[in-house]
Structure 1
Amino acid sequence: MEVNLKVHRGVQLQDAAVVGSLQESWQAGPSGSTASRGASTTGSRRSLQELAPAGSISVLVIDDEPDMREMLSFSLPSTEFEVVTADGGRAAVELLGTRRFDVAITDLKMPGMNGVETVSALRQLDPDMEVIVATGYASLETALACMKHGAYDYIRKPYDIAELRHLIMRAVEKRRLRSLVPLYEVSCALLSLRTRSEVLTHLGELTLDLIPHQAFRLLLPEPGTDELSICNSSDGLELSPAVLRELARRAIDGQEPVSVTQTSRDWPFATVSRLGAALAYSLQVGDAPAGCLILLRGVGQPLFSISELQRGSLFAAQLALALETARLNGELEARVKDLEATREELVKAEKLAAVGKLAAGLTHELSNPLAFTKASFHSLSAYSRAVNSLWTVTRDVAAELARRDDPHSAELARKLLTVGGAETETSIQDAQDAAADAVDGIRRVEELLIELRALSGGSPVSPVERVDVVALLGAWKGEGTLPRPVRVEDAEPIYARVGRGDLQASLGRILDFLCETPGARDEGAPALVLRVGHEAGRPCIWLEDPLLELSEALRAELFDPRIQVDARRGRTMRLNLGLALAWRLLSRMGADLSVTPGAVRGTVFRLMLPATEQA
């Protein structure tokens, strides 16, 4: 997903920061600048509720006349404005390197750097700050020059305080309305992300759109615990997890933002010389904490301002909502998948039930005819062998008569061979082969009936016992047991409560299926791998086939009764019930059979068995 970035890309990060600062005390500006009576002198940690009621609009007054600076400091109500003064353009530019302001009021005629140059420099450092130009020599040319360089408006000296206050409020309102646009865009982008991974991927750039920072950390609660896990970040800063969790706890416990600076007594990042300020937001979903977002700025960058604190609080609320929405989406998708899996299991069970009903009828109808037919073909086979023996004796007798020097004996030998005919031996052999094929066909039908009887529930259930699964798998370890190499990985004994016969039959059917994988019988083909272990507290068997590649659709249909090529017995097609039976036998003993792609390639059959205590 592509997210449009709204940060002023042509400005250095420290110059693109928005207004003001939160610090232990509003620092006195550089040489030539002073903080007025409206500047805050409280502690380093300031909450939104503490900052908003009084002096929430920060104003920078730039004038080379001390009387004019002092007059404005006392004339603008301290309940509304925090006034900081500077004696010229250069002092204002230096001061803007340490903090930001909502509005600046600059004189037009000043030594060193005049008003037009000051407006241009201030707007370059902070494009979000509104600048009002004050002059006693107003003209259309100077007004246009100031507007061209980014001034919001101008006012004549001497000041009309009511008019100045009205102009400041209009400038602040314009600034705040303009700041809502990126907040709205970021909120829309944030709430459009559906998964937690998407939120974490785009969080850095979305936060940077609102509050420029050097680095950030997101701490989220571990499911089922009170521990906060720290999401990975690629900024390369090595920050103590304990320090991050402590700062997050302070924000979460107080349920309001916490700001600390490098000059604070409780500055937690003393070991990281590159950092100068940190701002922690509690993420709340209702009354439940959903984590903490920590923004970090480097040394030399402006400290975090009140307006940034306010925007960040709104963003933190949106972030908490986005994370909760992503969590709910994940739960919903998981439940949908569970429902789909349940539906597939029900469909599979219905199919097997239908096959079982058909099997019960077929078994009943075909068992007796097959028994008679099988007996008849056995008799035919025995008769063919007897005829073949008789024909052999006849040829031997004819040969013996032909050797006698007696015309009568020779004629008798000729008649014996003539009665049989030249194709007698071939016919007798064909009859023998036909009888053998018929018996083999009947045997295969009987096997099919046994499988159908098992699907119908007619086969006996193996008695449940405590079985060492590792020892059971060793039955397939010897050479020649299967037409494909098998490697059973050694393990300590692992026990499960299963029907030994049903488990062996199921494993055998799965292994038979895997032995038919294309290329499985080629020389040098990789071996099947059988592993045993535990998963979710239950004994588990993994059968790994590096050759078998199945699509998702084929994996979903793998345990349905179906027709497949039977290359092993030389037949073209046969009804494959082996995997369907394996699934049925395992299901009725409380085991789960599933198929997943291999870690690198191939396919893995996973059998989760009922648990029992270890030996």
Structure 2
Amino acid sequence: MEVKLIGPSPEAPGEGRFATRDESLAGGASASRGASASPLPKRSVQELTPGGGISVLVIDDEPDMREMLAFSLPANEFEVVTADGGRSAVSLLGTRRFDVAITDLKMPGMNGVETVSALRELDPDMEIIVATGYASLETALACMKQGAYDYIRKPYDIAELRHLILRAVEKRRLRSLVPLYEVSCALLSLRTRAEVLAHLGELTLDLVPHQAFRLLLPERGQAELSICPSTDGLEVPPLALRELSRRAIQAQEPVCLVRTSRDWPFVPVDRLGSALAYSLQVGDAPAGCLILLRGVGQPGFSVSELQRGSLFAAQLALALETARLNGELEARVKDLEATREELVKAEKLATVGKLAAGVTHELSNPLAFTKAGLQALSSYSKDVKSLWRTARDAAQELSQKDDPRCKELAHKLLTAAGHETETSIQDVEESAVDAMDGIRRVERLLEELRAVSGGSPVSPAARVDITELLERQVRDTTLCRPFQVETSGPVFAWVGLQDFTSSLKRILSFLCEASPLPQGQPPVPLKVLAGYADGRAFIQLEDSLLTLSEARHAEIFDPRIQADSQSGDTLRLNFGLALAWRLLRRMGADLTASPRPSGGSVFRLVLPAAR
């Protein structure tokens, strides 16, 4: 077999160009996507011009003809490689790829028709021109049926041959626009970085066949590129990947290396034969690096593969930047939605607060007079009861005397202090007690209304051990749920003790009322965690029983009027966790509720750090 490279000298592999003749011939069969798939992509994305370095394979059994074509085609336009027959060309195509092949029709061993069929099977992308010294239209048409692009007669007209080669390459270029468009649409339709990474291997393989790929991307807070996880199982030294990516980014153009290159970085990996690295650029800023790898025995990367990969890398950089912007946009939208919810919540509380301030002002003075009157009535009832008992005792004493007048007086006293009088006094006393209980409930309601309106005083902040406070709260016998407190030790926060205690009790009471224990089932404890996160103290309450719907989640922080859960026909004002949220916000803390991954809900309090 005779294989000869004639044309412009290739540049050093380390400079982002293709390797020397010996380097580019290293390797074997090309990468394949599967047993039944073609080892090469079905379509190219090459966009070559007459000055783009078109690679041409000349196949002829006559040495003089091979030499004549090699020297006649302009060296600044064409890279010419020669083969002395069909079998030599097939062997050569196992090591590298060409844009165009020119094959003689009449050759010993493997004729032109057989050669065209074999070359098209190995590389469906390559355009083939058949040359013949015989005016055999039937044979030429047979070659075209096997996939040849066109035919030309010998002796060659170099101008006509050059024009035919450029037409073949132009056809290839136009045919490549469809897959490029399809891949671009598929890539740019991916909205998130995770989606891009999930489909990257498949999309890259459609354009540039490879054994494995590695994607290196910048991460926030890291000085060097981070290597994205891969599932191909190929062990590749991270230092070699970062070195190759550094070269590509520094050169701002693709870097192609083969195993025989003097600066081959993948040592001592024995399975790699060639590597192609693309810098991902967004404007002037590097956005990462894409590295394609082929194994030993596979052909090195060709010029056309380098160019189609360059187009894909540009699209990939744009897709990654779009995904990043989408992520930032979604985060900002979530922040805006959260801010809107906070504003709506604050507006509702402000509206309720104005109403509460008016109600509190209107009720405070009458309530104070009513309370004073009830206290006086209660005191009077006690005095009357004492007087009644004294009268009854005096009547009993007088009734035992022999004096008729004493007996008559005793009868009058007993008549006045009889059973009906005792019942009346008892009714007045009980009514006073019930009225005082009602007054206290109204006072507590007014206190809550003052808190909603912002009129209640803010409790002074201090350094509080919330672990100790939690342990005291969960021992409260009025709470109907068991608690499981988990903490590594004291957790200190800077909070107003009175407001924080009130808020915590409201939250615990809410959870106990909102998710009562099922009858006949063992108690399910409410898990309480306390600790530090990002320099701030937190309390996390995990309730496996309470599942919050979206509507229910919106309700728990809003004051509302609802039917009484016991009577069912009485309306009552339900503040939910609005007061707790308001009091916590006043001290610089926050309260959020979210679904629990394993079911139920999580309530999280984030508190100001202790000074």
- CA displacement at 1:35 relative to structure 2: 2.3
In structure 1, what is the equivalent of residue 452 of structure 2? 455
Q: Secondary structure at the match of 1:277?
A: strand
Please give the alpha-carbon distance, in whole angstroms, between the structure 1 residues aligned to 2:147 and 2:390: 123
In structure 1, what is the equivalent of residue 14 of structure 2? 45
Please give the alpha-carbon distance, in whole angstroms, between the structure 1 residues aligned to 2:554 and 2:4: 73
In structure 2, what is the equivalent of residue 599 of structure 1? 597
Counterpart mapping for 1:383-422 below 5 A: none
In structure 1, what is the equivalent of residue 533 of structure 2? 535
In structure 2, what is the equivalent of residue 115 of structure 1? 112
Counterpart mapping for 1:9-28 below 5 A: none
Deviations 1:4-41 (A, max 9, x none): xxxxxxxxxxxxxxxxxxxxxxxxxxxx1322221645
The question of whether the paired residues in 1 share the 8 Å contact of 2:127 and 2:172 is answered with: yes
Distance 1:50 1:99, change over 3 A: closer
Please give the alpha-carbon distance, in whole angstroms, between the structure 1 residues aligned to 2:284 and 2:607: 42
Deviations 1:569-609 (A, max 9, x none): 99965322251111111111111211122232221111111
The question of whether the paired residues in 2 share the 8 Å contact of 1:219 and 1:292 is answered with: yes
Structure 1: runs of 5 or more not aligned: 1-31, 400-407
- CA displacement at 1:561 relative to structure 2: 0.8
In structure 2, what is the equivalent of residue 546 of structure 1? 544
Deviations 1:114-165 (A, max 9, x none): 1111111111111110000111123232122111111100011111111111
Q: 1:284 aligns with which of 261, 281, 287?
A: 281
In structure 2, what is the equivalent of residue 101 of structure 1? 98
The question of whether the paired residues in 2 share the 8 Å contact of 1:476 and 1:482 is answered with: no
Please give the alpha-carbon distance, in whole angstroms, between the structure 1 residues aligned to 2:393 and 2:146: 126
Please give the alpha-carbon distance, in whole angstroms, between the structure 2 residues aligned to 1:516 and 1:397: 55
Q: 1:195 aligns with which of 192, 198, 220?
A: 192
Please give the alpha-carbon distance, in whole angstroms, between the structure 2 residues aligned to 1:62 and 1:427: 127
In structure 2, what is the equivalent of residue 131 of structure 1? 128
Please give the alpha-carbon distance, in whole angstroms, between the structure 1 residues aligned to 2:423 and 2:162: 121
The question of whether the paired residues in 1 share the 8 Å contact of 2:12 and 2:18 is answered with: no
Please give the alpha-carbon distance, in whole angstroms, between the structure 2 residues aligned to 1:192 and 1:100: 32
The question of whether the paired residues in 2 share the 8 Å contact of 1:454 and 1:581 is answered with: yes
Please give the alpha-carbon distance, in whole angstroms, between the structure 1 residues aligned to 2:548 and 2:392: 60
Counterpart mapping for 1:276-355 below 5 A: 276-355=273-352
Deviations 1:162-189 (A, max 9, x none): 1111100100111122122211221122
The question of whether the paired residues in 2 share the 8 Å contact of 1:48 and 1:309 is answered with: no
Q: TM-score, normalised by structure 2?
A: 0.85
Distance 1:487 1:327, change over 3 A: same
Q: Which amino acid aligns with 1:60?
A: L
Q: 1:576 aligns with which of 563, 571, 574?
A: 574
Q: Tell me which moved more, 249-258 or 263-272.
A: 263-272
Q: Secondary structure at the match of 2:308?
A: helix
- CA displacement at 1:83 relative to structure 2: 0.6
**Identity percentage of aligned residues:** 72
The question of whether the paired residues in 1 share the 8 Å contact of 2:13 and 2:19 is answered with: no
Structure 2: runs of 5 or more not aligned: 21-47, 397-406
- CA displacement at 1:563 relative to structure 2: 3.5
The question of whether the paired residues in 1 share the 8 Å contact of 2:56 and 2:98 is answered with: yes
Distance 1:309 1:88, change over 3 A: same
Please give the alpha-carbon distance, in whole angstroms, between the structure 2 residues aligned to 1:264 and 1:316: 24
Q: Which amino acid aligns with 2:13?
A: S
Q: TM-score, normalised by structure 1?
A: 0.84
Please give the alpha-carbon distance, in whole angstroms, between the structure 1 residues aligned to 2:176 and 2:271: 29
Please give the alpha-carbon distance, in whole angstroms, between the structure 1 residues aligned to 2:610 and 2:440: 39
Residue 81 (structure 1) aligned with residue 82 (structure 2) = no
Residue 588 (structure 1) aligned with residue 586 (structure 2) = yes
Q: 1:260 aligns with which of 254, 257, 260?
A: 257
Q: Secondary structure at the match of 1:460?
A: coil
Q: 2:221 aligns with which of 221, 224, 228?
A: 224
The question of whether the paired residues in 1 share the 8 Å contact of 2:216 and 2:228 is answered with: yes
In structure 1, what is the equivalent of residue 493 of structure 2? 496
- CA displacement at 1:520 relative to structure 2: 3.4
The question of whether the paired residues in 1 share the 8 Å contact of 2:465 and 2:493 is answered with: yes
Q: Tell me which moved more, 380-389 or 443-452.
A: 380-389
Aligned residue pairs total: 572
- CA displacement at 1:479 relative to structure 2: 6.3
Q: Which amino acid aligns with 1:309?
A: L
The question of whether the paired residues in 1 share the 8 Å contact of 2:487 and 2:531 is answered with: no
Q: Which amino acid aligns with 2:447?
A: I
Q: Tell me which moved more, 145-154 or 362-371.
A: 362-371
The question of whether the paired residues in 2 share the 8 Å contact of 1:586 and 1:593 is answered with: yes
In structure 2, what is the equivalent of residue 29 of structure 1? none
Distance 1:308 1:116, change over 3 A: same
Q: Secondary structure at the match of 1:365?
A: helix
Please give the alpha-carbon distance, in whole angstroms, between the structure 1 residues aligned to 2:427 and 2:107: 122
Deviations 1:530-558 (A, max 9, x none): 21222232222212212111123432342
Distance 1:139 1:571, change over 3 A: same
Deviations 1:307-360 (A, max 9, x none): 111111121111111111111111111112111211211111111111111111
Please give the alpha-carbon distance, in whole angstroms, between the structure 1 residues aligned to 2:94 and 2:362: 95
In structure 2, what is the equivalent of residue 141 of structure 1? 138
Q: Which amino acid aligns with 1:577?
A: F
Please give the alpha-carbon distance, in whole angstroms, between the structure 1 residues aligned to 2:515 and 2:562: 13
Counterpart mapping for 1:372-391 below 5 A: 372-374=369-371
Counterpart mapping for 1:198-213 below 5 A: 198-213=195-210
- CA displacement at 1:106 relative to structure 2: 0.7
Residue 35 (structure 1) aligned with residue 35 (structure 2) = no
Please give the alpha-carbon distance, in whole angstroms, between the structure 2 residues aligned to 1:123 and 1:264: 30
Q: Which amino acid aligns with 1:559?
A: F
Distance 1:43 1:49, change over 3 A: closer
Please give the alpha-carbon distance, in whole angstroms, between the structure 2 residues aligned to 1:201 and 1:430: 80
Please give the alpha-carbon distance, in whole angstroms, between the structure 1 residues aligned to 2:112 and 2:146: 10
- CA displacement at 1:395 relative to structure 2: 12
Please give the alpha-carbon distance, in whole angstroms, between the structure 1 residues aligned to 2:424 and 2:391: 15
Counterpart mapping for 1:355-366 below 5 A: 355-366=352-363
Q: 2:269 aligns with which of 269, 272, 281?
A: 272
Distance 1:184 1:89, change over 3 A: same
Residue 609 (structure 1) aligned with residue 607 (structure 2) = yes
The question of whether the paired residues in 1 share the 8 Å contact of 2:8 and 2:76 is answered with: no
> Once superposed, what is the RMSD of the aligned Cα atoms?
3.5
Counterpart mapping for 1:179-190 below 5 A: 179-190=176-187
Q: Which amino acid aligns with 1:336?
A: V
The question of whether the paired residues in 2 share the 8 Å contact of 1:283 and 1:293 is answered with: yes
Q: Tell me which moved more, 141-150 or 521-530.
A: 521-530
Distance 1:366 1:56, change over 3 A: same
Residue 561 (structure 1) aligned with residue 559 (structure 2) = yes
Please give the alpha-carbon distance, in whole angstroms, between the structure 2 residues aligned to 1:92 and 1:249: 37
In structure 2, what is the equivalent of residue 16 of structure 1? none
Please give the alpha-carbon distance, in whole angstroms, between the structure 1 residues aligned to 2:393 and 2:369: 36
Q: Secondary structure at the match of 1:90?
A: helix
Distance 1:566 1:382, change over 3 A: farther
Please give the alpha-carbon distance, in whole angstroms, between the structure 2 residues aligned to 1:562 and 1:425: 45
Please give the alpha-carbon distance, in whole angstroms, between the structure 2 residues aligned to 1:46 and 1:309: 14
- CA displacement at 1:378 relative to structure 2: 6.0
Counterpart mapping for 1:510-529 below 5 A: 510-520=507-517, 522=519, 523-529=521-527
Deviations 1:93-125 (A, max 9, x none): 111110000000011111121111111111111
Please give the alpha-carbon distance, in whole angstroms, between the structure 2 residues aligned to 1:287 and 1:205: 28
The question of whether the paired residues in 2 share the 8 Å contact of 1:239 and 1:269 is answered with: yes
The question of whether the paired residues in 2 share the 8 Å contact of 1:282 and 1:293 is answered with: yes
- CA displacement at 1:372 relative to structure 2: 3.9
Distance 1:144 1:542, change over 3 A: same
Residue 57 (structure 1) aligned with residue 26 (structure 2) = no
